[in-house]
Structure 1
């Protein structure tokens, strides 16, 4: 059939291994993440590493779409569930600790929060976002135990494999530090979802492709590809308004993402292909608010090329 999708890890027209497809195959129906705020902070904020945070983070530490942390976890979850149920009636849920660094606390605190989360109704997994330098041995052991009880994914921020960029954006760790943290998790067979960002200050096309190549070599369970968006009241906003760098154009972003997908092994689950900030805080790029258009353009470009995830593997 002429228009048949050549990518086997797809149940739709998508030419990459979508998170939705993976979860439906694993659990038999749609699964939805519910973002939670556990009240954690970050060593890049509290002074252990730095006090400024990453230059792109708002005061919510990448948790701009999470409820306030002073609301009990159970209530946060039920609020999220109510929103989801207005769109989908029959789904499973995955609590997602998103804001700040969610392993940066005593092990007793982590156990209290995460053990409660996996007991929430209709849940089939747990996602925990953290830094590669916040994975102490006791935390790794606990996460290993959790992974035997539920579908656990640890979301690990890389952003770039370029040490010069990591220093510029004030990540407070190197690429070698990231690999060390990643390997600790993989040694215990814990699912890892790597986060990368396209369009970081000072980076050119070849830098973004280098990061994708490094991810391909690491071969994680999953990957999130984010677009760099500039939010008000961040150091990044100051740099942008000063003219230190330009935001990516949509066409440039689409091409880069498609090129990156071609490098990635077919079995890496693609959890995200773009990103969007809170509209009231967004400075640029304004096209980032149209996520569906962006993903549709990625789909069209892959069809135009006759390409798909892993095409160059």
Structure 2
């Protein structure tokens, strides 16, 4: 029996990032992470101190990034790291650490353009916050996007203002909506990060979140399960009041992801479902499965339930 081709152009039951990127670039493209020494507005006192309660930046910083090295050198070292595995490919410079727009524009431009000087770099992915971009910066990125691929990733984390306040984000959801609208109106690719499982949120909240973000001008989505990392405020909160936290089992989270996908706008490209911290920095939940194994579980469950991304979109 012939498999169904979905609106995103293939037989996978969700609009997956790997297929999208292969179609966009017609070759393998890999992100190379860069740490350019940025801070965050809720760390330096602009909106607060201490950063987000869940955040330990070391949990997602690759070993090849070195703050002491210039951007160009980090790009070169990252490319060498991946070229050991894959010979023919291109790369995106991924400004990943902390808030990678949190500096005056005249300081940002040389950093971004230094990364683009490498002949194998075909664009930039810039990780930031909704309250850390200006219209001037976005105008610059819009011009740059006419020459190379540009993606701005925004840490939204939740659609609920009470949750954003509890995690010390320093901005509300209205600011998140503004940031997505401002990038979209300039033709800049955007991406939203959202955490499922935050304290005082429940299944109804997360499914409503899927409906809300589906109405926004969003290109890409990164979901991940709540994790408790060492060296964070949330570690202390979890230690003192573990009953306030419901940490998913893999099976629970698979079901939630499938329910979420059913409600999600089929035009949104899904980049990931889970986050995977180093074992020595992770307190809970310890699933012991790799990202690709979790994706396989989601794909299996979508097929078992004969459902797909957007099946209930608009409901």
Report the counterpart of residue 274 of structure 2 in structure 1.
274
Match of 1:149, SS state, is coil
Find the partner of 2:155 among 151, 154, 157: 157
On the 8 A contact 2:60/2:277 being kept in 1, the answer is: no
8 A Cα contact 2:181 2:217, kept in partner: no
Residue in 2 that maps onto 1:180 = 178
Asked if 1 retains the 8 angstrom alpha-carbon contact of 2:57 and 2:98, the reply is: no
> Does structure 1 retain, via aligned residues, the 8 Å contact 2:156–2:192?
yes
Distance 1:43 1:191 in 2: 23
Change (3 A) 1:308 1:6: farther
Find the counterpart in structure 2 of residue 64 from structure 1: 61
Aligned length: 310
Using the alignment, how far apart are the partners of 1:127 and 1:259 within structure 2? 29
Cα deviation 1:5-32 (Å, max 9, x = unaligned):
4434355x63212211111111111111
Per the alignment, residue 231 of structure 1 pairs with 229
| TM-score with structure 2 setting the length | 0.93
Distance change (3 Å), C-alpha of 1:38 and 1:275: same
Summarize deviations over 1:103-137 as a string: whole Å, max 9, x none. 11011111001111122221222100111111122
Q: Which runs of 5+ in 2 are unaligned?
A: none
Offset at residue 233 of structure 1 (A) = 1.2
Gaps of 5+ in 1: none
How far apart, CA to CA, are the structure 1 residues paired with 2:230 and 2:259? 30
- Inter-partner Cα distance in structure 2 for 1:121 and 1:92: 9
Counterpart position of 2:214: 216
Alpha-carbon RMSD: 1.7
Q: Secondary structure of the equivalent of 1:226?
A: strand
Kept after mapping to 2: 8 A contact 1:64/1:278: no
User: Structure 1 residues 6 and 28, CA, compared in 2 at 3 Å: closer, same or farther?
Assistant: closer
CA contact (8 A) 2:127 2:152 kept: yes
Q: Is the 8 A contact 1:193 1:221 kept in 2?
A: yes
Q: Is the 8 A contact 2:264 2:310 kept in 1?
A: yes
Q: Does 1:300 align with 2:300?
A: yes
Three-state SS of the structure 1 residue aligned to 2:287 is: helix
Cα shift at 1:170: 1.0
Q: Distance in 1 between matches of 2:21 and 2:179?
A: 25
Distance 2:223 2:115 in 1: 26
1:9 matched to which residue of 2? 8
Q: 1 CA distance for matches of 2:125 and 2:82?
A: 17
Following superposition, which runs of at least 4 residues in structure 1 exceed 6 angstroms of deviation?
Answer: none
Whole-angstrom CA distance in 2 between matches of 1:124 and 1:259: 35
